[in-house]
Copies of this chain bind each other. A is one copy, B any other.
Amino acid sequence: MLGAGTVGREVVRAFLDRGDALRSADGAILELAGVAVRDVAKSVRGGIPEALLTDAPAHLVADPDVDIVVEVMGGDEPARTLMHGALSTGKSVVTANKHVLAHHGLDLETTARRTGAALRFEAAVGGGTPVLGALALDLAANRIDAVRGIVNGTTNFILTAMSAEGRAYSDVLADAQRAGYAEADPRGDVEGEDAANKLAVLARQAFGQWLDVRTITRAPELVAGGHGPLGITGVTIEDITAAAAQGLAIKLIATASRDGDTVLAGVLPTAVAFDTPLGRTDGVLNRIEVDGEPVGRVAFAGPGAGGPATSSAVLGDLIAIARGVGSTWAGHPSVPRLLRASRPVSSETFEGPSGLRYPVLR
């Protein structure tokens, strides 16, 4: 294991508390070989046995006794290099790192396919909600036309609180930071980066193509022309109130749909009808909807973040690898190139008093 933060700690706890329950189909037991962390003493104080700990992640990855690498350290480097190193020597990787997947997914997938290693990442989208594996396996017979959803709990918590309490964005954000629902530097969430990363991963499963995450728009249109602030940073309480008067809730919606050979993808503040399941998805819940042929619309909802929920997906991926299920993309054909996403088009829009123009979803 690389990392023992919010998610990693829960995974380690599962191994310590009920390791013999983590068996593969053949009765093989997954054994925790070691945990690489930055500060060994701190992890010992946190209850991880010292014998498991190391501050040398590259050595742990290279250990010939290690078959599977669980990356839950987050961030870009050294996570990317460590995952790449593991896959290139045929070791399977389980990761919750949507940033690395969204930016280097094509490279990691290509490496994994070359060496035959499995790369699993169910935890990268929706926390413990099992949507990525389902897209590649249970829904494999479908042509997926669109995916959409609320995939970032922090922004949905902020928008829900603004709406419920009639308070300004900056006030609610400050509260969310104090309560631990938003980070000290909240840009990754509030500017839509986290949601765009997740959308890129979701699109990989839905459409069999990696999107260039930098081409996923996060800037809402302005009524006056041009583009406004990224993500939810330009959403005002006046916009939320005016939308509510029309039966609409402002939500940060990630959406990707097929359009001929291209994919329309965006992470935009959107006016969603109250009387729809997405419009009623409040607080830190996530909800992801999938439109497929022949299945129609299926939806997945659950806690999109948090250590325990996310550890469920990481542990599920470990069990899947032990059972030989392979990568999260399963039988999807190989991917030749990175696809540029185009901006989604909305037939109906709502003009907020702030001057933002919101797509409407009914």
Give me the interface of A with B, judged by CB distance under 8 Å: 10, 14, 21-25, 122, 128-130, 133-134, 137-142, 277, 280, 292-303, 306, 308-309, 311-313, 315-316, 318-320, 323-326, 330-331
Q: Are B312 and A128 in contact (CB under 8 A)?
A: no
- A319 and B14: CB pair below 8 A? no
Are the CB atoms of B302 and A25 closer together than 8 Å?
no
Inter-chain pairs besides A130-B139, A137-B137, 8 sampled, C-beta below 8 Å: A14-B141, A130-B130, A134-B134, A277-B280, A292-B312, A300-B301, A301-B301, A323-B331
CB neighbours (8 Å) of A325 from chain B are 137, 325
Copies of this chain, complex-wide, total 2
- Residue of B at shortest CB range from A315? B141
A94 CB, nearest partner CB in chain B, Å: 12
Minimal Cβ-Cβ distance residue in B for A323: B331
Contacts of A300 in B (CB 8 A): 298-301
Contact B323 A308, beta carbon cutoff 8 Å: no
B141, A130: Cβ atoms under 8 Å? no
Task: Give the CA-CA distance A315 to B293 in the complex, in Å.
Answer: 12
Q: For A320, what are the chain B residues with a Cβ–Cβ distance below 8 Å?
A: 137-138, 140
The one of B133, B298, B301, B331 that contacts A138, using a Cβ cutoff of 8 Å: B133
Instruction: Check B303–A296 contact: CB distance below 8 A.
Output: yes
Q: Is the CB of B298 within 8 A of A24?
A: no
- Contact at A319–B134, with CB atoms within 8 Å? no
Of all chain B residues, the one with the shortest Cβ separation from A300 is B300
Enumerate chain B residues within 8 angstroms of A140, measured Cβ to Cβ.
315-316, 319-320
Q: Is the CB of A298 within 8 A of B141?
A: no
A174 to chain B, nearest CB (A): 27
Which residues of chain B are near A331, meaning CB under 8 Å? Answer: 23-25, 319, 323
Across-interface contacts of A23 in B (CB, < 8 A): 331
Q: Are A298 and B301 in contact (CB under 8 A)?
A: yes
Shortest Cβ gap from A311 to chain B (Å):
6
A297 with B302: in contact, given A313-B138, A319-B141 (CB under 8 Å)?
yes
A-B complex: 10 closest residue pairs judged by Cβ atoms: A141-B315, A130-B138, A298-B302, A294-B308, A295-B312, A25-B331, A128-B295, A130-B134, A299-B301, A138-B316
B280 touches A128 (CB 8 A): no
Partner of A311, one of B22, B294, B311, B330: B294
Using CB atoms, name the residue of chain B closest to A133. B138
